[in-house]
Structure 1
Amino acid sequence: MDITAIVLLVSFFILLFLNVPISICIGLATLISLIMHIDFTPAVMTIAQQMAGGIDSFALLAIPFFILSGLIMGQGGIAKRLIECAMALIGSLPGGLALVNVMSCMLFGAISGSAVAATSAIGSFMIPEMKKHGYSAEFGAAVTASAATTGMLIPPSNILIIYAIASGGVSIAALFVAGYLPGILVGLALMLVCSLYAIRHKYPVTARLPLKVALEKIVAALPSLFLVFIVIGGIIGGIFTATEAGAIAVLYALVLSVGVYKEINTQELPALLLKACETTAIVMLIIGASSAMSWLLSYTHIPQTISEFFLTLSENPLIVLLLINLILIVVGAFIDMTPAVLIFTPIFLPVAMEFGMSPIQFGIMVVLNLSIGLVSPPVGSVLFVSCAVAKTSLHKIIKPMIPLYLVMFAVLMLVTYVPAISETLPRFFGLIN
């Protein structure tokens, strides 16, 4: 392996284990490695230029809009109405509360585009409710965390926008549509585990709501669900771009939360705007630092070296794609999704395409793979949020997470080896050939 790659990896993981913020880890590791090739001052200037260039993208403007719309939705009463809608639809099935938890996370994740927001908003209500009906706090936390990751696949999804940029211009609209079937498959697989778990542990079944009450709950949630049709329908129809869709999502969320539901007053908006700015700044710093690292990798021809290694390793696509998945699972357990996508997409995408995988399918595979990392120790941010909401510890949640990990991995294998799961809908809407 090239000495630059060794220095980069060693310095990065040393900083990471010293609990240095991920963006600083990436930036400093890149600087240390680049100094091996050029002097300190031009190295700093080069990294600064690459960071600025990395965030100089019109498509990235969508991210602050979707972050803000997600914050507004989380505080605007939308989560509560989605939970009530899910309860009306499937609450009386075996493991009903767990199923409601999964469906609510899917719906909220699809609207907000944030796994952490879904975990916090849905978990703060559903985990105590599940505990009240005899479910363990650990199982409730495990279900919430794993289900919240579906929001990374079901659009609008910030990470799919980032992948579109990292891959060199894959259609955001095609990626958004491609995420639906895999995201729904993950949700259904988690629901199956929840039902079997509830039957095995003899958890009580929630009484069916009267038809009139159920219809009222569903109707009350329709304005929230309509946002998905506005955003995705507008993008697919070519009415507006993903960035413009983000702005429309903010306006719609404001009208719904402030004007219709009246869950947010105007005095709370400055705090929400400030929180959105803070989150956006963190994301953009990570993107900038990751862009600089990606440039260094390209400058030292490391992606080409790794691609050639994989191509000589085996001619069997089943083995090579499995190895890529296993590497990404390990990566996802230590590194946040954004830098992982920006750094490893240029490395593994050429290999995957060499074995016949399209950029669309590969993008969904990568996002689903790294979503498992969001609920995997030691770094899994969603797992820690869920533990905090459930007031439980990490080591207690791992046991109920195991069957959920297994079904998520099973869906990952389907997405990896069955292109139709990712490509059928984009092809149906004419977004890919």
Structure 2
Amino acid sequence: MLDANLALLLSFAVLLLIGTPIAVALGIGAVVGILIGLDLLALGMIGTNAYAAVAKYPLIAIPLFILTGMIFERSGVAARLVTFAQACIGPRKGGLALVAVLVCMIMGGMSGSGVADAAAVATVMLPSMLKAGYPKPFTASIIAASASTAILIPPSIALIVYSVIVPGLDLRALFAAGLIPGVLMGLAIAVPVVWLSRRHGFGAGEGTERPPFWPALRAALPGLLAPVIILGGLRSGLFTPTETAVVAVAYGLLVGVVIYRTMGPREIYAVLADSAKISAVLMLIISLAGLFAWAGATMGAFRATADLVLSISDNEWVILALVMLVMLLAGMVLDGVSIFLIALPLLIPIVQAFGWSYVWFGVVISINIAIGQVTPPVAVNLMVTAKIARIPLETTFRWVGWLLVAMIAVLVLIIAFPEIALWLPRVLGYRIT
């Protein structure tokens, strides 16, 4: 059985390393493990378990929130949020950089995806920041880092997946737990952003005119209300997370079609088609990850791996540091959803062994993954912004290091003081496990 467990994990790892799509690597790894560790009759369970992995009501929220994010991205919300943020912050050195951080955080409360957030904000902010005297590498770095807060600020798609995999976890508690750390991370990123801007004289060409506040607020208000509707609906109990996603889509269409009038039949069709493609890929990964998890759990591969990790030390801080290192490396090459699907079956026994809170642990590893998404040499978010800016990825390394220090400081803070994450769900009366 040990050989089968090794075959399961090694075949997946090797396929991933040679560039095989993650869904294919998960599926083939599961089949290899089943063939070696079980028997041919077990192959008959492949279809059942692959279907069971996606036949879960909470997962309906994922394609709906993907659609919500794309609707708000293409309806002109981001551009209006930029104008409103400029009206709040005003013209000053580092002002546009702060605007980028703030808009990324707000857009993260609509899209739930760091990559989508980075792409939307970079497209809108890059021309104006370049005109104001910000270098492309610096601009790409701060947008990539700020967009990573989307994995924490509700409605995070990665946290939805986390809540489905961990049994008995209240998604509302997880969303509430991610809110304060997400805001803290945005504020932490803003500190070196302002310091670097002023030290190097960036933003000297921002001008002296501040956009009128009230017209900017009126124009941005429909977009600003989106996170309020999402979080308010969850908190009031009026909607379940899945129903909230449906309401968010309907509200996004209302904003784009009726209020802003930037979306017609052609734009709606394009949004539906593009979000369907992204959702299909994501659900395929979830389906085959479910098959991989079933094969690993049936053969005891995940428990054996967890026992191996726990045998390294009986000190929970040593084990947590090891887990954080692995999550950081994974975050450099994979998105948060894929990491949760692959790693959680291995990590759940470790969390149980030390009695850690699943809610707190979900926030901690989400921050770690967010750091990985802007950590060279791969850095998923950074690759997106660098591509939009048309610059080599290595030109951003000089700037992104300062932002990583700020993000790591928040991670250490949440690990040292778990109540920063757990206080809000506790006050709201959610069950913390």
TM-score (norm: length of structure 1): 0.94
The alignment partner of 1:243 has SS state of helix
- Determine helix, strand or coil for the equivalent of 1:35: helix
Deviates more, 1:410-419 or 1:76-85: 410-419
- The alpha-carbon deviation at position 76 of structure 1 amounts to 0.2
Are 1:7 and 2:4 matched, yes or no?
Answer: no
Alignment correspondent of 1:364:
363
Aligned to 2:395: 396
Match of 1:280, as an amino acid? S
Structure 1 residue 39 displacement after superposition? 4.1
Gaps of 5+ in 2: none
Which moves more between the two structures, 152-161 or 200-209?
A: 200-209
Listed as ranges, the matches of 1:54-133 within 5 Å are 54-133=53-132
Is contact 1:321-1:416 (8 Å) kept? no
CA separation of 1:384/1:313 partners in 2, compared to 1, >3 Å: closer, same or farther?
A: same
Q: Distance in 1 between matches of 2:341 and 2:315?
A: 26
Q: Is the CA contact (8 Å cut-off) linking 1:92 and 1:207 kept in structure 2? A: yes
Unaligned runs of 5+ in 1: none
Aligned residue identity for 1:7: A
Task: Name the structure 1 match of 2:375.
Answer: 376
The answer to whether the 8 Å contact 2:72/2:78 transfers is yes
Q: Tell whether the 8 Å contact from 1:141 to 1:387 is kept in structure 2 after alignment.
A: yes
Shift of 1:267: 2.5
Distance 1:204 1:58 in 2: 48
Alpha-carbon distance change, 397 to 8 in structure 1, aligned in 2, over 3 angstroms:
farther
- Measured against aligned partners, the alpha-carbon deviations of 1:162-212 in whole angstroms (never above 9, x if no partner) come to 0001111311111111111111111011100101111221223545655x8
1:198 aligns with 2:192: no
Kept in 2, the 8 Å contact 1:258–1:266? The answer is no
- 1:429 positional shift: 0.7
Matched, 1:405 2:399: no
Residue 242 of structure 1, CA deviation: 0.6
In 2, Cα distance between equivalents of 1:91 and 1:186 = 22
- Evaluate the alpha carbon distance shift between residue 328 and residue 2 of structure 1 in structure 2; reply closer, same or farther with a 3 A threshold: farther
Matches within 5 A, 1:174-193: 174-193=173-192
* CA displacement 1:318-360 (0-9 Å, x = unmatched): 2221111111111222333222102222322332343342111
Which shifted more, 124-133 or 344-353? 344-353
Q: Determine if contact 1:110/1:228 at 8 Å carries over to the other structure.
A: yes
Query: Aligned residue for 1:325?
Result: 324
Cα 1:357–1:91 shift into 2, 3 Å: farther
Match of 1:280? 279
Q: How has the CA–CA distance of structure 1 residues 45 and 413 changed in structure 2, closer, same or farther, with 3 Å as cutoff?
A: farther
Counterpart Cα distance in 1 of 2:334 and 2:10: 14
Deviation at 1:140, TM superposition (A): 0.7
Q: Could you tell me which amino acid in structure 1 is paired with residue 384 of structure 2?
A: V
Output the CA distance in 2 between the equivalents of 1:307 and 1:37.
Answer: 19
Contact 1:365 1:412 survives alignment (8 Å): yes
Is 1:168 matched with 2:186?
A: no
Q: Distance in 1 between matches of 2:105 and 2:150?
A: 6
| Residue aligning to 1:140 | 139
Q: Deviations over 1:266-290 (max 9, x none)?
A: 2321221111111111010010111
Deviation at 1:152, TM superposition (A): 1.2
Q: Answer yes or no: is the 8 Å Cα contact 1:105–1:119 preserved in 2.
A: yes
Equivalent residues, number: 431
Q: RMSD of the alignment, in Å?
A: 2.0
User: What is the TM-score when the length of structure 2 is the normalising length?
Assistant: 0.94
After TM superposition, give the deviation of residue 309 of structure 1 in Å: 3.4
Q: Could you tell me whether the CA contact under 8 Å between 2:143 and 2:385 is conserved in 1?
A: yes
Q: Deviations over 1:231-258 (max 9, x none)?
A: 1111111111011000000000000011
Instruction: Give the distance between the partners of 1:108 and 1:335, measured in 2 at CA.
Output: 21
